[in-house]
Amino acid sequence: MMTSRRRFLTITAWTGLGAALAPGAMAAAPTLHRWRGSALGAAASIVIAHDDAHRLTALAKAEVARLEGAFSLYRPDSALSRLNAAGILRHPPPEMLELLAMCDALHARTDGAFDPTVQPLWALYAERHAAGTSPSQREISTVLHRVGWRHVDVASDAVALRRPGAKLTLNGIAQGYISDKVAALLKAQGVDNVLVDIGETVAVGNRPDGQPWRIGLADPARPGAAARYRRLSDQACATSAPAGTSFDHDGRVGHILDPRSGRPGGRWRQVSVIADSAAYADGLSTAFCLMETAAIRRASASVEVVLTA
């Protein structure tokens, strides 16, 4: 089972674009190029208006693959998998250190709702529900002893998990981080206008017609209903929904688990966060699913939050 929030995000940047362009602009503008693929188990895409789009998207794909080598839970040779297997990772890649520093900031900002050490709980729920049962309170309490960000030591030469059986998951932030990194790579190549969605979305500049990029936020409880559209320019957007993936066949036990109680969260059907960084938007949208309105308000300085109850 792999978590995915992508079913609730629709990117419409390439639809109706020709009609929106002024007469003669289509001939002058580069062809709009779209790449589709996957990263960390989620659908990914890049929409770029550039004469050298094929070379640039090849560079982006290589960057995605490189960063998956650090953060993937499902590749046994990834830095994260090696950390989880051994309990220590010596000489961690700089991207791992940078991302863990963001995790530390998000953990403090959300009063512990964001916590990458939740992976043992996730594995418990997945195993029990795959067998047709659910975890007992005793099992949850036992596994909770392995959970806790304060038990993770991060230093430039090593990352260590101080609790036996502790494991990390970066699924609640790594997609946003990779989106940020790919966008930064393309900007460094001179790209002024591109929409990057490596699991979460970064809008650099605008569409070729000069208008902001356009995304649609679908309501998870209303399949087929019209999406709420947002315009993004030099911003990022991340969306989380507890029902995006469920452990049970009936869709009642969502995949976002509260690291404090060990129970599935779900205060909100869906949370979208618009911010300057996709990594922070990703982490905040995950944590906000578990938080009350007042707590979200305290933690949401400098970001825009869209809540669906």
Q: Which domains does the chain have, with CATH numbers?
A: 6-308 (3.10.520.10)
Q: Give the pLDDT confidence of 164-203 residue by residue, as tens digits.
A: 999 999 999 999 999 999 999 999 999 999 999 999 999 9
**Is 219 a residue whose pLDDT tops 90?**
no
Report the alpha-carbon angle 197-230-226, nearest 5: 100
**pLDDT mean over 123-140:** 97
Task: Supply the DSSP symbol for 38.
Answer: E
Q: Are 72 and 80 in contact (CB under 8 A)?
A: yes
Of 128-132, 229-233, 236-240, 263-267, least confident by mean pLDDT is 263-267
Give pLDDT, residue 228: 82
Mean pLDDT of 259-287: 95
User: Which carries the bigger pLDDT value, residue 12 or residue 203?
Assistant: 203
Whether residue 295 has pLDDT greater than 80: yes
Q: Is the pLDDT of residue 269 over 60?
A: yes
pLDDT band at 271 (very low <50, low <70, confident <90, very high): very high
- By mean pLDDT, which of 137-146, 235-244, 285-294 is the weakest? 235-244
Residue among 264, 93, 104, 273 at smallest CA distance from 176: 273
Beta-bridged to residue 275, according to DSSP, are 236
Count of Cβ atoms closer than 10 Å to residue 55 Cβ? 11
CA angle 233, 237, 240 (to 5 degrees): 165
pTM of structure = 0.90
Among 37-46, 152-161, 170-179, 283-292, the least confident range? 37-46
